[in-house]
Amino acid sequence: MRYLLIAPPKKGIRMFVESPCIGLGYIATAIRKLGHRVEIKDCLIEKWNIWDTTRYINDTRPEIIGINLFSTAIQSVQELVRQIRTLTYKPLILLGGPHCTGDPHSIFKLFPQINYAFKGEAEIPITEFDEYLRGKRGLREVKGLVYQQNNKIIYNESIEYLNIEEFGFPAWDLIDPRKYFKEVNIGDKSINVHFSRGCPFFCRFCVNLGKKVRVRSLEHIWQELEMLHKDFGVERFIINDEGYTMLPKLVKDFCRFTIQKGNPFRYFTATGMRLNRLDDEMLELMKEARHELSFGVGIESAVPRVRQELMNKQLTQEELENGLELLNKHGFRPVGNFIIGFPNETRQELIQSVKWACKSQYLWGANFVPFLPLPGAEATKTLLSKGELPPDFDFSKINLSAVVYAPKGMSLEELDKLRAWAVWRYNSSPRMLWHYISDWGRFKRAIVTFLRIFMPNWLLPKEWRRL
């Protein structure tokens, strides 16, 4: 049997949405173990539109098509599914990915022409689904499966498998890291990797895709890094998992391990640092192990009521301040990530948070993004239950550069102006202007962000326009 796994076109600016489809890589490895043929196609990297993708499907005729669904790709995937169903042959169409996990009950309303969907991790479920196709397992026995039966939508309990090493490595030969080297958010001889899965925290703005933190062994991690270096020339690894920096022992053990191996690679903590998990030993080891000094830190709001009570971010003001001071003490350059317009946040609290960021001597940059009502997040569920978001809210609108929700007492237009004010006030200082000019990648992203915020919409290229 032949599978085709697709990372579809996403709405948004290319430099902000490209990312290697590692999740599909793990699924491909599971499919190969079953003895089937499998391909992965990333439409962004291939520069394919819907018609190019449909043409390839018609030419190659895979029996099963799996599509990774992000909320920003809903409209393009809807069109892709419609086009696939116009073909003269009828493949099985499976959906999976973050949107299916966060909002499984609406999948068949959005995509009535698909066959099945998966919520949660799919390495085990895809194997069980293969057994179902061969008549060796019932539908209700396939973990995480979402399907229709007797006009009802059913979704089975998902799984968080403990021994993630059993999954092996992603099918890197089908992804080919070299295709991503020139992407702005990746970089030359760089690629994303995962050391662990899961997050034990329950921030209300986030979608918890796995509550159990499961860590790979250092030997297993190192085998993958060496393979990526040998086969594809990778020299810099972007550590994407939430669990890395929230587990001091993992960080220290890995740093000692790579130092003992001769420190051949560089590392970037893409998800930032957990400010209340730091200590002097960890930071010195990270420096010695060639971790990059600049990264984001999740502050979210500088106002304790907003951060702790509203967002449920388990980070006190004292821990926040001490963490930033400790990072600077060891030569790191933290960039603060802030959410503006969180539900029940007041205008005064928003302004207070921005002013705190502007005055902080320990921040080397700040990002101010509007609150995103992510499907499945606790805050989103509350807004839907209270009617502050319509039941048919279009999740494809969510975008880091677009205001799609404003708390009570503020309009979308007012929040958009407050965001523009925050960005301008923080980034117009001489220190920040010099910081951007000295870093071409950051400068390029900053220019695009500024244009999107401050230029009239009609003057922007179509793909850059604000929603």
Q: How far apart are CA 245 and CA 283, in angstroms?
A: 11
Residue 421 has what pLDDT?
93
pLDDT at residue 234 above 90?
Answer: yes
The answer to whether residues 97 and 104 touch, using CB atoms and an 8 Å cutoff, is no
* Least reliable range by pLDDT among 310-324, 333-347, 375-389, 427-441: 427-441
Edge-first strand order for the sheet with 333-340 is 294-300, 333-340, 366-370
Q: Is the pLDDT at 178 greater than 90, yes or no?
A: yes
Question: What average pLDDT score do residues 140-148 get?
Answer: 96
- State how far the alpha carbon of 137 is from the alpha carbons of 95, 127, 140, 269, in Å: 20, 11, 8, 41
Q: How many CA atoms lie within 13 A of 334 on its CB side?
A: 29
Indicate if the pLDDT at residue 419 is higher than 80.
yes
DSSP string, 259-279: HHTT---EEEETT-B-GGG--
C-alpha Rg value of the chain to the nearest Å: 22
Q: Which of 156, 90, 169, 149 is nearest to 120 (CA)?
A: 156
How far is it, in rounded angstroms, from Cα 287 to Cα 272? 15
> Sorting pLDDT into bands at 50, 70 and 90, what band is 436?
low
Q: Which two tokens stand for residue 53?
A: 């993708």
Question: What is the average per-residue pLDDT within 241-248?
Answer: 84
pLDDT tens figures, 367-383: 999 999 999 999 999 99
pLDDT at 439 over 70: no
pLDDT at 449 (0 to 100): 67
Domains, the chain, in order of start with CATH, read 2-155 (3.40.50.280), 174-263+278-288 (3.30.750), 293-467 (3.30.750.200)
Whether 110 and 67 have beta carbons less than 8 Å apart is answered as no
Rounded mean pLDDT of 221-240?
97
Q: What does the CA dihedral 288, 293, 299, 304 come to, rounded to 10 degrees?
A: 60
Q: Return d(Cα 459, Cα 388) in angstroms, integer.
A: 32
Query: Is the pLDDT assigned to residue 467 strictly greater than 60?
Result: no
Closest to 227 in 3D by CA, of 193, 179, 197: 193
User: Of 149-163, 405-419, 425-439, where does mean pLDDT reach its minimum?
Assistant: 425-439
Q: Which pair of tokens denotes residue 369? A: 């993004």
> pLDDT tens digits for 153-173?
999 999 999 999 999 999 999
pLDDT for the residue 461:
67
Of all helices (H) and strands (E), which one includes residue 102? helix 98-102
> For residue 441, what pLDDT is reported?
63
- Please count the other Cβ atoms lying within 10 Å of the Cβ belonging to residue 454: 10
- Predicted confidence (pLDDT) at residue 283 exceeds the cutoff of 60: yes
Give the pLDDT confidence score for residue 218 in this predicted structure: 97
Whether the predicted pLDDT of 434 surpasses 90:
no
Structure tokens at 461: 């290229």
pLDDT (tens digit, 9 = 90+) per residue, 111-124? Answer: 999 999 999 999 99
Among 190-194, 196-200, 229-233, 457-461, which stretch is predicted with the lowest mean pLDDT? 457-461
Q: How confident is the model at residue 241 (pLDDT cuts 50, 70, 90)?
A: confident
- Give pTM, 2 decimals: 0.91
Structure tokens that stand for 337 in this block: 């990530």
Q: Could you give the C-alpha distances from 193 to 126, 277, 287, in angstroms and in order? A: 22, 21, 19
Q: What is the pLDDT of residue 427?
A: 83
pLDDT in tens, 87-110: 999 999 999 999 999 999 899 999
d(CA 316, CA 307): 8
For position 453, what pLDDT does the model report?
65
Q: Answer whether residue 126 shows pLDDT above 90.
A: yes
State the average pLDDT for the chain: 91
- pLDDT score recorded for residue 356: 97
H-assigned helices in 47-110: 50-60, 74-84, 98-102, 107-110
Residue 12: pLDDT over 60: no
Reading phi first (left if > 0) and then psi (alpha if -120 to 50, else beta), residue 20 is in beta
Residues 116, 147 contacting (CB under 8 angstroms)? yes
> How many angstroms separate the CA atoms of 30 and 342, rounded?
39
Of the chain, the percentage scoring pLDDT greater than 70 comes to 90
pLDDT above 70 (res 460): no
DSSP run (H or E) holding 296: strand 294-300
Q: Rounded to an integer, what distance in angstroms lies between the CA atom of residue 374 and that of residue 216? A: 28
| Mean pLDDT for the stretch of residues 206-227 | 91
What pLDDT shows up at residue 466? 55
CA–CA dist 47, 84 (Å, integer): 19
Provide the pLDDT confidence category of residue 444 given band limits of 50, 70 and 90: low
Letter for the amino acid at 200?
A: P
CA distances from 319 to 31, 56, 226 (A): 45, 53, 36
| DSSP letter assigned to residue 368 | E
Q: Pick the range with the lowest mean pLDDT from 13-27, 168-182, 194-208, 264-278.
A: 13-27
d(CA 458, CA 319) in angstroms, rounded, equals: 44
Is the pLDDT assigned to residue 15 strictly greater than 50?
A: no
Is residue 284's pLDDT more than 50? Answer: yes
The pLDDT value given to residue 440: 63
In angstroms, rounded to a whole number, what is the distance separating the alpha carbons of residues 60 and 58?
A: 6
